[in-house]
Amino acid sequence: MACLGQTYGNASSIHHFGQAAKQRLEAARRQVAALINASATEIVFTSGGTEADNLAIFGVTRAAAGPRKHMITCAIEHPAVLMPFKQLGEEGVDVTCLRVGGNGIVNPDDVQRAIRPDTVLVSIMHANNELGTIQPVAEIARIAHDAGAVLHVDGVQALGKTPVDVQALGADLYTMSGHKLYAPKGVGALYVRKGTRMFPIAYGGHHERDRRPGTENVPGIAAFGAAAELAGRRLGEETERLGMLRDRLENTVLDRIPGTGINGSRWNRVANTSNIYFDGIDGEAMVIALDLRGFAVSTGAACSSGALSPSHVLKAIGLTDDRARASMRFSLGRANTVEQVDALIEAIGASVAHLRRISVHA
Ligand SMILES: Cc1ncc(COP(=O)(O)O)c(C=O)c1O
């Protein structure tokens, strides 16, 4: 709020008003860097996770010397990664999109098999947004670095949910988004390891050490910094609490409702995300039924031109269209309580019973 009022200056201005804003900006840079064990100078603020992903992927491609370029990603990435690679593919870059197993985890051996002398970039997410599954980033980093490639990690769903240490992970580029940490929407950052060759993707002023031009969103960035500090302080206890709520939700639902199961690995995942299938149920109908009962959940599926296409992540882990459409993604957060989870369990039970009943009569 202070940055919307008395500290409203432009962080690039020399006068004291601007310098006060600059101090906020740099404090936030240190806070975000601290959360991932980076140096402040390695943090580039962006408008969010999507921009950071695009900056990493197009920025490394542009900086890569030589005409032949090969890149590796995987089938369960967020569209903010898949779409830049699709575009690069259309522009003549050779892109390998790795498959994943039913557990929703990339096999490092597959990365090893796909990597080539001309591989410039490997981009694998840290935690999957629909399943919560955590990828073996450190192993993949070793494979990428042995081949001289840069590793980009989309960490949007991992930051604040699991410890992130870019040194231990070996990531050269790490994408973050403020709103996943309870900062306002429209702010994010890209960690760029010192020495990583990356060109900007937009041109203008000299902001962010010439890596991302444009007057900085100081209120958003200051909030992101504060949110990062809070997330770091609460990480251990919050992870444990959310894991208990998630297990309570899953165990009770699986126990009480036949034809249900967990999508992806139950073990290697962030604590707040649960993806459950309810055979015979239409996920969208379930979203509406739960919304009417006061619960905001999602299917993870995208709706294109009126036709509901099942989630690309659930398809990639081998689910049939029917089961993918019958799956729901539950995300728990800081404000959720045991009482709410118990009420959700009741609401799920009632909604499933109702939807299965009407589908029998349909
Ligand atoms: C894994 C992942 N990457 C990227 C993004 C995009 O981030 P933003 O919404 O900040 O652009 C999201 C958003 O949910 C995400 O889950």
How far apart are the CA of 256 and the centre of ligand 1, in A?
A: 33
**pLDDT tens, position by position, for the chain (362 residues)?**
999 999 999 999 999 999 999 999 999 999 999 999 999 999 999 999 999 999 999 999 999 977 778 999 999 999 999 999 999 999 999 999 999 999 999 999 999 999 999 999 999 999 999 999 999 999 999 999 999 999 999 999 999 999 999 999 999 999 999 999 999 999 999 999 999 999 999 999 999 999 999 999 999 999 999 999 999 999 999 999 999 999 999 999 999 999 999 999 999 999 999 999 999 999 999 999 999 999 999 987 554 444 568 899 999 999 999 999 999 999 999 999 999 999 999 999 999 999 999 886 66
Residue to mutate (ligand 1; options 46, 50, 173; most atoms within 8 A of CB): 50
Q: Which residues contact 325 (CB under 8 A, 6 or more apart)?
A: 282, 283, 284, 299, 301, 308, 310
Q: Which atom number of ligand 1 is nearest to the Cα of residue 178?
A: 10
Active site annotation includes 3: no
Residue 66: predicted pLDDT: 78
Residue to mutate (ligand 1; options 129, 190, 312, 329; most atoms within 8 A of CB): 129
CB-based contact 212:7 (threshold 8 Å): no
Residue 301: predicted pLDDT: 56
Answer whether 2-231 and 235-361 agree in fold: no
76/108 Cα distance (integer angstroms): 15
136/145 Cα distance (integer angstroms): 15
Q: Does domain 2-231 have CATH number 3.50.50.60?
A: no
Residue 305: predicted pLDDT: 43
Burial (Cβ within 10 Å: 0-12, 13-18, ≥19) of residue 34 = middle
How far apart are the CA of 174 and the centre of ligand 1, in A?
A: 12
Q: Please give the structure tokens belonging to residue 34.
A: 């601290």
What is the torsional sign of CA 316, 321, 322, 328?
positive
Residue 199: predicted pLDDT: 97
SS (H, E, C) 260-279: EEECCCCCCECCCEEEEEEC
How far apart are the CA of 80 and the centre of ligand 1, in A?
A: 7
Residue 90: predicted pLDDT: 95
**Closest listed residue to residue 327, CA positions, set 283, 272, 270, 274:** 283
For the structural domain made of 235-361, what CATH number should be given? 3.90.1150.10
- Kindly report the pTM of this predicted structure: 0.96
Which residue has the least CA distance to atom 9 on ligand 1?
49
Which residue has the least CA distance to atom 15 on ligand 1?
156
DSSP 63-121: H--SS--EEEEETTS-HHHHHHHHHHHHTT-EEEEE---TTS---HHHHHHH--TTEEE
Which residue has the least CA distance to atom 4 on ligand 1?
49
- Cβ(135) – ligand 1 distance below 6 Å: no
Place of tokens 């995208």: 302
43/35 Cα distance (integer angstroms): 11
Residue 303: predicted pLDDT: 47
Q: Cα 36 from chain centroid?
A: 15
225/2 Cα distance (integer angstroms): 14
Domain boundary assignment for the chain: 2-231, 235-361
Residue 292: predicted pLDDT: 97
Q: Which atom number of ligand 1 is nearest to the Cα of residue 128?
A: 1
CB-based contact 55:209 (threshold 8 Å): no
Which residue has the least CA distance to atom 16 on ligand 1?
129
Residue to mutate (ligand 1; options 161, 177, 298; most atoms within 8 A of CB): 177
Q: Which atom number of ligand 1 is nearest to the Cα of residue 51?
A: 11
Residue 362: predicted pLDDT: 60
Residue 67: predicted pLDDT: 74
- Cβ(154) – ligand 1 distance below 6 Å: yes
DSSP state letter for 183 = S
